[in-house]
Amino acid sequence: MKKSFVAVALSAVAVISTGCMGGSGGDAGDGTADGDKPSYTITYVEDQPDWQEIPTLDIDHQQWTDPVDIKAYAQLCYSDDELFVHMWADEENIRAEHPKSDPLGHTYEDSCLEFFFSPVTGDERYMNFEYNPNCCVCIQIGKTKEDRIRMAFEEDIFNARSSRIDGGWEIEYSIPFDFLRNLYTDFEAVSGEQIYGNFYKGGNLTVQKHYISWSPVDSEEPNFHSPQDFGVLIFE
């Protein structure tokens, strides 16, 4: 049954919150695909994704701490109605203290897989989806690290599913386009359209504290809220 995402957005519990990493965010990308930004093509699918057929990107740029033996990966694809996200980590010492039922859980303290993205070029607001292995999630929107609104929902409209896999864990969820259009009226998911984003693996209180990204972050201090360093995501 198709949900009314206007009603869902209005009924969501919104909490003003600072972000989940140190440092302040910057401006959104300028809409060009030049320079050294990494790029990834978002595959179009007609129905549910077959992840075996979707290209994988490596989340492998470690910063701010000593190197750790943790690897992470991500995949994106889209249909006419939603953006599908699949992320997983090779991580031996998994921390998962915050339960899914906690709408304000500090997911960044646990083993955490994170997707940040700017859905509309020219709109400085970006979103972050940060999941731990229990499907506890931090979802925020705003222009900077300090200027953010955290959202909590009475129901899981993203259909998040997490599982333990050999040597680690994975998370899979989908972001409805109706939900995005309630926040970004100019959002379009059409072939050739570019958006900007980054993928992260973190864990502030894990045995091996780490900060890992797909697109390198230009900051001397730990800070995932750096939209100027987002890579390019291109709809197939």
What does the pLDDT profile of the chain (236 residues) look like in tens digits? 344 443 344 344 444 444 454 333 333 333 344 468 999 999 999 999 999 999 999 999 999 999 999 999 999 999 999 999 999 999 999 999 999 999 999 999 999 999 999 999 999 999 999 999 999 999 999 999 999 999 999 899 999 999 999 999 999 999 999 999 999 999 999 999 999 999 999 999 999 999 999 999 999 999 999 999 999 999 99
Q: Report the C-alpha gap between 236 and 232 in whole angstroms.
A: 12
User: What residues pair up with 43 in beta bridges, in sequence order?
Assistant: 77
The pLDDT value recorded for residue 35 is 66
The answer to the question of residue 110 being in a domain is yes
Phi-psi region of 191 (alpha: psi -120 to 50; beta: other; left: phi over 0): beta
The pLDDT value recorded for residue 36 is 85
The answer to the question of residue 71 being in a domain is yes
Q: Which is it for the CA torsion 93, 171, 151, 224, positive or negative?
A: positive
Both structure tokens of 3: 């949900």
End-to-end CA distance of the chain: 28
The answer to the question of residue 77 being in a domain is yes
The answer to the question of residue 180 being in a domain is yes
Tell me if 15 sits within 8 A of 104, measured CB to CB.
yes
What CATH code is carried by the domain that includes residue 39? 2.60.40.1190
How many residues does the structure list for the chain?
A: 236
Angle (CA) 222 234 160, round 5°: 65
The answer to the question of residue 218 being in a domain is yes
Decide the pairing of beta strands 13-16 and 194-202.
unpaired
The answer to the question of residue 6 being in a domain is no
The answer to the question of residue 39 being in a domain is yes
The pLDDT value recorded for residue 20 is 53
User: What residues pair up with 44 in beta bridges, in sequence order?
Assistant: 78
Domain that holds residue 45: 13-18+35-235
The answer to the question of residue 30 being in a domain is no
Q: Looking up tokens 């390019």, which residue turns up?
A: 232
Task: Name the residue type at position 183.
Answer: L
| Residue 221 neighbours by CB distance under 10 Å | 11
Number of folded domains in the chain? 1
